[in-house]
Amino acid sequence: MHTGFPYDGDGDGDGVDSDGPGAAAARITGRTVRGERRLSESVAEVGLDGGQSVMVKRGDDPGATQAEAAGLRWLADAGTVRVPDVHGHDRRWLVTDVVAQGPPTARAAVRFGRGLAALHATGTPAFGSPPPGGPVDAYIGLAPMRNAPGTDWPRWYAEHRVLPYLREAVDRGTIRPAETAVIERVCERLPELAGPAEPPARLHGDLWNGNVLWGADGDAWLIDPAAHGGHRETDLAMLQLFGCPHLADVLDGYQQAAPPADGWADRVALHQLFPLLVHAVLFGRGYAEQALAAARRALA
For residues 131 and 259, membership in a common domain is answered with yes
Q: How far apart are CA 269 and CA 246, in angstroms?
A: 20
pLDDT value of residue 19: 73
Q: Is residue 1 one of the residues assigned to a domain?
A: no
Q: What would the pLDDT profile of 7-54 be if each residue is shown by its tens digit?
A: 444 444 444 456 799 999 999 999 999 999 999 999 999 999 999 999
Identify any residues that bridge with 143 across adjacent strands, giving them in sequence order: 140
CB atoms within 10 A of CB 251: 20
Residue type for position 205: G
Is residue 134 one of the residues assigned to a domain? Answer: yes
Rounded to a whole number, what is the largest CA-CA distance in the chain? 64
219 and 289 in a single domain? The answer is yes
Here the CATH number for the domain that contains residue 221 is: 3.90.1200.10
Task: Please give the residue range of the domain that contains residue 218.
Answer: 106-299
pLDDT in the model for residue 18: 61
Sort 3 into a burial class: Cβ within 10 Å, 0-12 / 13-18 / 19+.
Answer: exposed
Q: What is the pTM of this model?
A: 0.92
Tell me if 164 is assigned to some domain: yes
CA distance 273 to 238: 9
Q: Are 99 and 212 in contact (CB under 8 A)?
A: no
